[in-house]
Chain A
Amino acid sequence: MLAIYKKDLRGAFHGMSGWVVSAFVVFVIGLYFMALCLSGGYGEFGYVLNNSMFMFLVVVPLLSMRSMVEERRQKTDQLLLTSPVSISGIVWGKYLALLTIYAIPLVVAMVCPLIMAAFGTVSLLRAYGCLLAFFLLGAATLAIGLFMSSLTENQIIAALCTFGALILIYLMPSIASLISSTTFASTLAFSLLALLVCVLVYLMTKSLVLSTGLFCLAELILLILTRFTDVQMEGSFAKMLNTLALFDRFSTFVNGVFDITAIVYYISIALLFVFLTTQGIEKRRWS
């Protein structure tokens, strides 16, 4: 694991990618820091991070697209997978390397609250709490990127898939607000979601019985919930989307609340996708 971690880290800073990504993150955070805190006079570092959140859409695909794809393209995955290192060791090595590259500019950003503190009273605890949440948010999105990178054999496709997934998550609250909150609309939305999942299940397993069975089961549960129980369906789909949204949860930290559930959610997403990456590679070996 350590060997792969070191190799990836050295590779990133041997070439351009590590430097470019670090510079970009520092630049964006620096820009908002100057505009909001230094010129605007806001004493809250969280706003800076909240505003620079969009950069994940650019940085994460760029950073993670090479990770797995490159190994497969150069056939060096044959070296890694036949060496006495487990698959989870390989994936963790790669993931930790990504995290480190992303953490370096954040370490630079840690100076910003101190600069503010020199000119007035600033809650350092709040600022660093926000920075920690920002780091974990990045960790979750990087895990998604790593997973996408393990699915394809093309960097561009990996980057586009990551970008697509992230923009969907980014816009999730807006999408949720578009959906009418009536019981009928929510039920329809849930049905469509069930259909989508079942189509995916069919594509993966090629079993018509399993996928239609799953769909019927999902519809039955929906029917029972809407007709025979007093579960509040009104606006429930929008609520679900809002709960799953990664980026929106950050605003609670900006408002000064250290939201443990959000922290747990970020870490869970990261662990889930690292796990899925491991399983994806394992599955590829068996196909």
Chain B
Amino acid sequence: MIQVKELTKRYGNHIAVDHLSFTVEKGEICGLLGPNGAGKSTTMNMMTGYISATDGTALIDGSDIFDEPRAARAKIGYLPEQPPVYPDMTPWEYLLFVAQLKGFAKPDRQDLAKQAMAQTGVTEVKDRLIKNLSKGYRQRVGLAGALLGGPEVLILDEPTVGLDPKQIIEIRELIRSLAKKHTILLSSHILSEVAAVCDKVLILSHGKLVACDTPENLAQRAEGQNVLIVTALGDEKTVRGVLNSVEGARDVAFEPCLDEGAVTARLSYDTGRDLRAQISSALAAAGCAVLRMQNETLSLEDVFLELTGDRVLEDAEVLTELPERESSAEDGEISAQNNEEEEEKDHAGDL
């Protein structure tokens, strides 16, 4: 349904999107994932024909976005990062305008607008000016505009930014229900979101595609290496000797330790085995009492960080240090988004 071929965007010497190719099948929900400045919005802007590509092209249901722009655009519903709504209109007027812009005949417009409002839950605010609506409602009005008339392909750029947790769940439900009739490409820098709704995840880093797989497969990739953190009394040399002697333990490394006279070691082992009993008895036999032992399973987050080239040990704090290559207008929003990200993570547990 969506075919992206060697899409490239160059700004002077800076390459925002670098020979990106992927396909999305009909009825699939595909998530475009990447840190800020990875080129997600640029890719989407090119796919919808808002900006041109330096090289390459995108086919929407067989229509080339650059060669047959009108045919291709008619099949796309696009929700950009900032919802393209007119503050001086009411949602009702706005949706009628969008319906006319998309070329629907006058008798159908009202029905289409009503349908889009019902789908996104903006019916109760339909006669208020958009400038008086909250960010969440504006986002929904934008979404209503994008899916008005039922375009075959929906391209949504960070559709849940600025929404409260309840609205996020609603929008996710909506996206999932839409997938029956539409093909959806959505972008996000929030992992849990992509994991929750998408059939396929594309991970972008510095304009390049670094992974393309289902969320389950990506998670499995990480499960190949479980990590155990052990704090035991004793010196590094002894503990290292003991740990190395345990069969199956790999990559023993030491971390700073707060307890006096103790050391903290970090080691990896294969999935499907549990080394905890073996290690504790081996350490005890060597006279090193085990103070603490913690199993750490790598999550999708770690895969993400590893793939985007910013692998750091702890996951939660790291999100505040995501790379900011492009000094774009997004910069000001980074801290705010990070907070949301944290909320997102807490929230992901509920889903």
Interface residues of A (CB under 8 A from B): 2-4, 6-7, 11, 14-15, 74-86, 285-286
B48 within 8 A of A: yes
Q: Out of A3, A4, A6, A82, which one reaches B73, CB within 8 Å? A: A82
Whether the pair A76, B101 counts as a contact (CB closer than 8 A) is no
Give the distance to chain A from B85, nearest Cβ to Cβ, in Å.
Answer: 7
Q: What 5 pairs across the A-B complex have the smallest Cβ distances? A: A79-B84, A3-B100, A84-B74, A82-B48, A76-B84
Nearest B residue to A85 by beta-carbon distance?
A: B101
Which of these, A4, A14, A77, A86, contacts B101 with CB under 8 Å? A4
Bound form: Cα–Cα A4–B73 in Å = 17
Q: Please provide the chain B residues from 174 to 203 with a CB less than 8 Å away from any CB of chain A in the complex.
A: none
Could you tell me the distance between the alpha carbons of A85 and B71 in the complex, rounded to whole angstroms? 10
Chain A nearest CB: distance from B80 CB in Å?
5
Taken together as a complex, chains A and B put the C-alpha atoms of A82 and B101 apart, in Å, by 10
Q: When the two chains form their complex, are residues A83 and B51 in contact, meaning their CB atoms are under 8 A apart? A: no
Distance to closest chain A CB from B113 (angstroms): 13
Q: Is B87 interfacial (CB 8 A cutoff)?
A: yes
When the two chains form their complex, are residues B84 and A75 in contact, meaning their CB atoms are under 8 A apart?
A: yes
A82 is contacted by which of B52, B78, B97 (Cβ under 8 Å)? B78
Shortest Cβ gap from B195 to chain A (Å): 28
Min CB gap A14→B, angstroms: 6
- Output the least CB separation between B184 and chain A (Å): 16
Q: Is the CB of B48 within 8 A of A80?
A: no
Contacts of A76 in B (CB 8 A): 84-86
**Which B residues from 290 to 319 make CB contacts under 8 A with A?**
none
- Say if the beta carbon of B23 comes within 8 Å of chain A: no
Q: Are A78 and B88 in contact (CB under 8 A)?
A: no
Query: Which residues of the partner chain A approach B82 to less than 8 Å between Cβ atoms?
Result: 75
Give A76 to B85 CA distance when docked, in angstroms.
Answer: 6
Kindly supply a per-residue 1/0 record for chain B positions 39-73, scoring 1 wherever the CB is within 8 Å of any chain A CB and 0 otherwise.
00000010011111000000000000000011101
Q: List 10 A-B contacts (CB under 8 A).
A: A6-B97, A74-B84, A77-B84, A79-B78, A79-B80, A82-B48, A83-B101, A84-B73, A85-B70, A285-B52
B102 touches A84 (CB 8 A): yes
Minimum CB–CB distance for B49 against chain A, Å: 6
When distances are taken between beta carbons in the complex, the residues of chain B under 8 Å from A81 are 49-50
A4: chain B residues at CB < 8 Å are 101
In contact, B78 and A11 (Cβ under 8 angstroms): no
Q: Mark B73-115, 1 if CB is under 8 A from A, else 0.
A: 1101010101011111000000001101111000000000000
Q: Is the CB of B100 within 8 A of A78?
A: no
> Which single residue of chain B is at the shortest CB-CB distance from A4?
B101
Q: Chain B residues near A7 (CB, 8 Å)? A: 86, 97
Q: Report B121-174 residues with CB < 8 Å from chain A CB.
A: 145
Q: Which residues of B contact A3 (CB under 8 A)?
A: 97, 100-101
* Other-chain contact of B51, A15, A75, A86, A285 (Cβ < 8 Å): A285
> Which B residues lie within 8 Å of A74 (CB)?
84-87
A79 to B50, CA, bound (A): 9
Determine the distance from Cα of A74 to Cα of B69 in the docked complex, in whole angstroms: 23
Contact A86/B70 with A79-B98, A79-B101 known, Cβ cut-off 8 Å: yes
Contacts of B103 in A (CB 8 A): 84-85
Q: A82's closest neighbor in chain B, by CB?
A: B48
